[in-house]
Amino acid sequence: MSYRILAVVALSLIASLAPAAETKPNVVVIFIDDLGYADIGPFGATKQKTPNLDRMAAEGMKLTSFYAAPVCSVSRAQLMTGCYGARVSVPGVYSPAGAQGLNPKEVTVAERLKDLGYATQCVGKWHLGDQPEFLPTKQGFDHYLGIPYSNDMQRKSKTSGTRVVPLVRDDKVAELLTDEQQSRIVERYTAEAVGFIRANKDRPFFLYLPHTAVHTPIHAGEKFRGKSNNGRFGDWVEEIDWSVGQVLDALRELKLSERTLVVFTSDNGPWLIKGADGGSAKPLRGGKGSTWEGASASLRSPGGRGKSPRRVSPMSSPGPSICCQRS
């Protein structure tokens, strides 16, 4: 019963592609960290402007009864596997250098789509284990670029003594990022994501773009600082909207929009204890760490506008629904 909404979207996508029987739909999942229900325009935000997300929602579907999970590692495991976190032994949040992660024996949506001939890439926060055996390249992704866990999980560099987080390329640490260098992370993720789309425009692809933003500490890019009416948190939300626009513009430019399913959602609701840096779930009552987590979700599928369903859909729905489209 709980898979119906995303299954309907998947079936609609198949129908829209029926005239081109050999065409497989592209899939883009944009996953934001700690974004609340009321933090973007389609769900009521007014202090920060999100014109690209507004357009995406107008052209697609808003999920107004959507549940993610209380915390990030669980949510990500559910998205990747289609199973509840407890089912795949992901109990909470993984720490850096931990011995545990998503078991490589679990089958992910990336592995399913790769078997169907898809190019696959993960760009952003993975947070399902940072040891080599747990990284995206061992879980169905051809390539990976990102900070493998939350941006507040800094550790002191052995050489400089500065608190840093690693930027991993595939399965190697490419750079150690200071707080100030994190201010370019949305820009760098976006360039990598758009580059992947361009490189794979002639074959089906799956892009998983789990942004580090808007988890604290807040590090909006220089061009976005002071631009919103909601402090640095609103500035970073506006940068995320810019990033979404870059992805959607690339799809339109390459004439891929009408055969690409785009999903935008967050891992859990706002981190309310962070105050002004934590976002909002209004009029919902909950936030991160609670089953009333207050996440938001919208989709854009080929064929234009959809309706906002009046049914509950869980975070575990997208993976199985996407895979059933062509399997």
The catalytic residues are 72, 127
**285 vs 41, 44, 124, 216, 289, CA distance in Å?**
19, 15, 29, 21, 12
CA dihedral (248, 250, 253, 255) positive or negative: negative
Longest dimension (CA), the chain: 59
State which amino acid sits at residue 60: G
**What gap in Å lies between CA 109 and CA 292, rounded to an integer?**
26
Phi, psi at 31, each rounded to 5°: -120, 115
Q: Identify whether the C-beta of residue 130 lies closer than 8 Å to the C-beta of residue 149.
A: yes
Buried b (16+ CB within 10 A) or exposed e, 38-71: bbbbbbebeebbbebbbbbbebbbbbbebbbbbb
Work out whether strand 143-146 and strand 119-123 pair parallel, antiparallel, or are unpaired: parallel
Which residue is associated with the tokens 């369903």? Answer: 309
Which residue is associated with the tokens 């789990």? Answer: 210
- 139 is written with which tokens? 């879980």
Which residue is associated with the tokens 């390539």? Answer: 143
Burial class of residue 172 (count of CB atoms within 10 Å of its CB; 0-12, 13-18, 19+)? exposed
Instruction: For residue 317, give the nearest of 119, 69, 105 by alpha carbon.
Output: 69
